């Protein structure tokens, strides 16, 4: 879902820095650390392609019917991509600095606020989340129910790939930091 992807990238960056553990305390720059490199590689190779695959299959659903996907100019999608990766780096840096300065609770609070905002947005727009179709079908009330759309197995498969590769990335990050 494109409206929540940038906050989600922010939360993922923050969470992965926290998961990297105390080993990042001694890293001067969060963006030059090996844990960041491993986490960013996971984002670019596993999470982002899985996320974008849904966009190409169901573009209006990915926009949550806030705009007609066909009307969105390519430049806006490029800015979205840049913002997505920048938000991940920002989330990692915020948590890295909080952990490094000895205040990991601040990073947990930051992560909780971002997660709460994502959850509130999804609850407020759950009708847009549970209907699959085009922009016009959604507003005409003819969009298919998420369960009837055949999208659930795809979501489960993509989720399994993303979570499985995330586990490998976390193990690699923790091995690099000695935690």
Nearest to 31 by CA among 5, 49, 12, 13: 13
Residue 179 in this model has a pLDDT that exceeds 60:
no
Per-residue pLDDT tens for 37-91? 888 999 999 999 888 888 888 888 888 888 899 999 989 989 999 999 999 999 9
C-beta of residue 128 within 8 angstroms of C-beta of residue 138:
yes
C-beta of residue 79 within 8 angstroms of C-beta of residue 26:
no
For 150, left (φ over 0), alpha (ψ -120 to 50), or beta?
left
C-beta of residue 33 within 8 angstroms of C-beta of residue 42:
no
- Provide mean pLDDT across the span 116-122: 93
Per-residue pLDDT tens for 100-112? 888 889 999 999 9
Structure tokens at 173: 């990050």
Q: Is the dihedral of CA 66, 67, 72, 75 positive or negative?
A: negative
């Amino acid at each position: 879902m494109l409206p929540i992807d940038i906050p989600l990238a922010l939360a993922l960056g923050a969470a992965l820095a926290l998961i990297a553990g105390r080993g990042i305390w001694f890293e001067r720059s969060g963006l030059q650390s090996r844990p960041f490199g491993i986490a960013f590689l996971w984002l670019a190779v596993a999470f982002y392609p899985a996320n974008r695959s849904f966009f190409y299959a169901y573009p209006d659903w990915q926009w949550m019917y806030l705009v007609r996907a066909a009307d969105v100019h390519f430049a806006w999608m490029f800015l979205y991509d840049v913002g997505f990766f920048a938000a991940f780096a920002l989330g990692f840096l915020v948590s890295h600095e909080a952990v490094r300065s000895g205040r990991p609770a601040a990073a947990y609070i930051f992560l909780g606020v971002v997660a709460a905002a994502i959850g509130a947005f999804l609850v407020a727009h759950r009708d847009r989340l549970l209907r699959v179709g085009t922009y016009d079908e959604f507003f005409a009330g003819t969009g298919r129910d998420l369960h009837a759309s055949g999208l659930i197995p795809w979501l489960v498969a993509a989720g399994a790939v993303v979570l499985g590769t995330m586990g490998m990335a976390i193990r690699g990050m923790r091995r690099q930091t000695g935690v």
